[in-house]
Amino acid sequence: MADFLPIIPFFIAAILTLFTRGWLRAVIMLVTPFIAAYGLYNLEIGHTYTFTLMGFDMTPIRIDKLSMLFGYLFAIAALLGNIYALYHKDTLQHFAAQAYAASAIGAILAGDMLTLFIYWELMALTSSVLIFARRTELSFHAGIRYLVMQVISGLLLLAGIIIYYQAVGNLDFNFIGLDAPGAWLMFLAFGIKSAFPFLHNWLTDAYPEATVSGTVFLSSFTTKVAVYALARSFAGEEILIYIGAVMAFFPIYYAVIENDLRRVLTYSLINQVGFMVVGIGIGTELALNGAVGHAFADVIFKGLLMMSMGAVLHATGEMRGSELGGLYKRMPKTTTFAIIGAASISAFPLFSGFVTKSMIVSAVLMEGYYGVWLILIFAAAGVFHHAGIKIPYFAFFAHDSKHIKTAKEAPSPMLWAMGLSSALCIAIGVFPDAFYAMMPWPMEYSPYDATHILTQLQLLFFSALAFVWLQLAGIYPAELKSVNIDAEWIYRKLFPKIIYSVGSAFAAFYNKFELKAQTVLTSTQNSATQLFGARGFLSNFRSLGGMVMWVGVILSASLFLYYL
């Protein structure tokens, strides 16, 4: 039982939320992360728990510095999310959040692939509830699409595990590499949950439709478990450098033109995960520490920004930048916390993003990937534009919106959660050595030298100057009531349209063919009657024609998908 202490308390808490109310449920939600962290603290580095199940060697608990770091991170994220979620009394959300946290911690402690798969699927189910729990038509459809993508990721992972086990003969979850049997299937499974390019739209589609507190939990766990899995199994694979560079680059465009501010943050989330993926691809100790350290910092500052936007949504019922503004007058504390989150994600000196992102950028430069370095520098400037400036500006300043007449400061639980998150953002930035001591790999690195500070301040200054100039010149994209087309158009619009068109064409062809056949049969009724009976023959012919039509549709669709 002691081995599972980091995981079990959250599952117990999930069950208890179904039968408790008021202050008792609040106490359970606040105490559980501390119990989990204490259980993790009592497990020494190198500790494993193994047993045999149906001939498989299972290792559900494996403690090393990497899993320990993510375990503490998820306990902190759960604590902050639980404090924030105390503002509402929705039992379904409280239950799902605790089960989701337990599944995430279980996944990063898994020492074998089968255990990883079990928690992988539990994460999919429990996290989807936080989207459905908003109880709107948009959230329902977004939740279905989200769940489909998560299940596909799980099926790919399972297929890869089966192939790997048949070839290697064990299920140990360690470094795999892309040359291993089944590795590409597992790589793609991790890539879906990491929001690789063209596989990312489940995130930008579903997260903005989740509940106010649900988005905070969603931004903390799923993508970070995927980052952990990549760091564990595919560190040093060069393809990740270029995938991560694309991830860091392309969301900037969408974040700049997007009107929904929570969707802006989801694009920003992909951008930040891109930095982590680059670090994993570089594979040096500095780069890997930068990747996992930035994942740690991102959970805190991205969670803080999601909390601040959630507070705005709670106060106004609105998330479109075109309909917001001037809220600093009614929500000064939320405004302050949002600015701290914006400074952290923008990597201002003395904030958390500066001491983590600089490790990745420095590692890229040290390894001679100068083109990727330039992309990351541009991406860092873009982050300041859309997350550092755009979100605070359009939500709290810009013009006075109609909501300043009715908006109120966020409830106390929200403010406490945002305050603690802000304190962590500053503490990591001010005391980087204490933070670096937690990193899994040994390194010597100092972020606060003249070169790093001056380079970053110049980048931020010119990025801010560009924003001001674009605004004054009327060039910066206005916050418009619009729908932006992303890669999701392929599977939400193009594929259904192609399938419908092919089906309609076959149906039209079959109808014409049937009409012609019926005419022929009518003119030769006597002969047909002698053979089988006209009606019986026509019925058989229709059945045969229908079968041929559907076989043709299936074959055409299969060939299309194969060559795609």
Return the structure tokens found at 321. Answer: 């930048």
Percent of the chain with pLDDT over 90: 70
Higher-pLDDT residue of 563, 261: 261
Asked if 194 and 272 sit in the same domain, the reply is no
Of the candidate ranges 16-30, 193-207, 277-291, 394-408, the one whose mean pLDDT is the lowest: 394-408
Domain end call among 195, 210, 233: 233
pLDDT at 549 over 60: no
How many CA atoms lie less than 13 Å away from 445 in the CB half-sphere?
Answer: 29
Asked if 446 and 520 sit in the same domain, the reply is no
Amino acid code (one letter) for 317: G
Q: How high is the pLDDT of residue 526?
A: 54
pLDDT at 531 over 70: no
pLDDT digits (tens, 9 = 90+) for 358-416: 999 999 999 999 999 999 999 998 899 888 888 999 999 988 888 888 899 999 999 99
H or E stretch including 59? strand 56-62
* Mean per-residue pLDDT, 61-89: 96
Asked if 218 and 316 sit in the same domain, the reply is no
Higher-pLDDT residue of 501, 76: 76
Q: How high is the pLDDT of residue 189?
A: 97
Measured distance between the N- and C-terminal CA atoms of the chain, rounded to whole angstroms? 49
Residue 58 main-chain phi, psi, to 5 deg:
-105, 140
Asked if 37 and 177 sit in the same domain, the reply is yes
Asked if 61 and 103 sit in the same domain, the reply is yes
pTM confidence score: 0.87
Q: Are 272 and 356 in contact (CB under 8 A)?
A: no
Q: How high is the pLDDT of residue 564?
A: 47
Q: How high is the pLDDT of residue 212?
A: 96
Q: How high is the pLDDT of residue 78?
A: 98
Asked if 216 and 319 sit in the same domain, the reply is no
* Mean per-residue pLDDT, 492-521: 77
Q: How high is the pLDDT of residue 23?
A: 95
Q: Are 364 and 373 in contact (CB under 8 A)?
A: yes
Alpha helices in 169-284 (DSSP H): 183-194, 201-206, 212-233, 239-249, 251-257, 261-282
Asked if 387 and 532 sit in the same domain, the reply is no
Asked if 201 and 88 sit in the same domain, the reply is yes
Q: How many domains does the chain have?
A: 3
Asked if 183 and 266 sit in the same domain, the reply is no
Q: How high is the pLDDT of residue 552?
A: 53
pLDDT digits (tens, 9 = 90+) for 336-354: 999 999 999 999 999 999 9
Of the candidate ranges 218-227, 312-321, 458-467, 525-534, the one whose mean pLDDT is the lowest: 525-534
pLDDT-based confidence at residue 557 (cuts at 50, 70, 90): low
Q: Which structural domain range is residue 34 located in?
A: 1-233
Q: How high is the pLDDT of residue 1?
A: 60
Domain end call among 425, 451, 485: 485
Asked if 170 and 139 sit in the same domain, the reply is yes
Distances in Å between the Cα of 251 and the Cα atoms of 223, 280, 293 are: 16, 20, 22
Amino acid code (one letter) for 41: Y
Return the structure tokens found at 403. Answer: 């909501």
> Which of 49, 32, 132, 126 lies closest to 83 in space, CA to CA?
32
Asked if 137 and 33 sit in the same domain, the reply is yes
CA distance 498 to 556: 11
Q: Are 120 and 97 in contact (CB under 8 A)?
A: no
Q: How high is the pLDDT of residue 481?
A: 61
Asked if 408 and 424 sit in the same domain, the reply is yes
Q: How high is the pLDDT of residue 532?
A: 46
Domain end call among 468, 485, 502: 485
pLDDT-based confidence at residue 74 (cuts at 50, 70, 90): very high
* Mean per-residue pLDDT, 60-67: 94
